[in-house]
Structure formats: C-alpha cells, structure tokens
Chains A and B, each alone.
Chain A
Amino acid sequence: GDSVTQTEGQVTVSESKSLIINCTYSTTSIAYPNLFWYVRYPGEGLQLLLKVITAGQKGSSRGFEATYNKETTSFHLQKASVQESDSAVYYCALGASGGSNAKLTFGKGTKLSVKS
C-alpha cells in the first residue's frame, strides 16, 4: 500500500527562524507519485499549498519550498523565515500520476505554532 510519514505532533518556531517539516513516503502502487503539501489555517478549510509532479523538481508557494527526492523518497517542507501568519496544520500527501485515479494518501499532519 501507500503511506506518508511526516513530523508528528506540534512544532514551535520563533518568528523569523527557519522551519523544516519532514515528509517521507512509501508506495507499492504508484511508480511516480505526485506529491503535495496541504495546509489548514485556523478557521479555514484544507487548501493546497504546493505540489510537484516530477522527481527532482522543487515546488514553492508563500515562501515555502519542497523538493521531490525520489532517491530518499522525501518531500520535506522548508521555509527560511517563518511568520506568525504561517501558524497552521500542514499535511503531506501523495497521489497517483495521471490516469483517472486521483485519490490522495495523507500524512497525519504537523501543527506549526510560530511565536513572536
């Protein structure tokens, strides 16, 4: 089956400091998965932060970056300088590449708290 493992629980970072949330994946059903980071801000619905569909490529959005590393099966989320407004729950996910099947497998989520 497919699985996603990410930094568990809560991560607290001081404003303007750097952040990394680890994500590794395992798949037996998808040769070249697509990789996603979703985010849920307080009081809002789950929304896409960034996605990468090609191994070796980097995705970026809102100052966050993630690189699809097929060798280490990782897709870590990084930001050089976090802000209080980045406080949210972040989910790593993998999905099928192309075809009609677009279902996603999610990690358990990482709650980021940014303190001023």
Chain B
Amino acid sequence: GGIITQTPKFLIGQEGQKLTLKCQQNFNHDTMYWYRQDSGKGLRLIYYSITENDLQKGDLSEGYDASREKKSSFSLTVTSAQKNEMAVFLCASSMRGGYAEQFFGPGTRLTVL
C-alpha cells in the first residue's frame, strides 16, 4: 500500500497573502490532482498533472498555480488568498488512465483572516 501526505493540515493566512500547500505520495503514481471542497459542496478540480513534467488546468484554476517538482510531489499555490476561498484542499493520485482509482490525502483546511 501507500500513503498521501498533505502539509500543513491547517493553514491560516491573511487576505492577499501567497500561500503554498504541499502533497507527497509514495504509491509511485504518475498522475496527481488538487481538488477544492467548499462546505456542503462537491470536490472541484483545480489542477492536475498526468506525468512528472505535465501540468493541466482544471475547472477552478484561476487564482492558483501548481508545480510538479518530481513524480512523488505536487504543490499548490494560492496566489492571493481571499476570504471566499476558505475550504478544504484535497490532493489525490492515481495510475495513469481513466479506469484508475484515485487515492486521496487527508486534506489541508485553509482559513483566510
């Protein structure tokens, strides 16, 4: 088996601040994802990376940057934190391909003051 680690677990920032969330996986999966979950809503895809040198925008990429530093790690940067984007950010990974199960990390809860 494997595990996905997200750091930090809780992230508190000021409005307008640049904030970075990190994700590591040891499944040796090719594909990694960042989702945002607002209270009472489903998961929305922010960015994903099919392979190590790839970066794809999801439905909610505006206001975010992402970086796939190596196969096992995928970072997400909130470029200018806003109060309306307080949410839980989930990282996931999968083998390449549409049939593949996605494995999720425990999440980072973002609070913007």
Contacts and interface: CB of A to CB of B under 8 A. Distances in A.
Interface residues of A, number: 25
Interface residues of B, number: 28
B104 A109 contact: no
A106 B97 contact: no
A108 B102 contact: no
B63 to A, nearest CB: 19
Contacts, number: 65
Contact of B98 (A48, A97, A109): A97
A43 B106 CA distance: 9
A80 interface: no
A47 B100 contact: no
A107 B96 CA distance: 23
A104 B45 contact: yes
B2 interface: no
A91 B99 contact: no
12 contacts: A51-B99, A53-B99, A91-B42, A91-B43, A96-B98, A99-B97, A99-B98, A102-B97, A102-B102, A103-B58, A107-B42, A109-B40
Interface of B: 4, 31, 33, 35, 40-45, 48, 50, 58, 90, 92, 94, 96-107
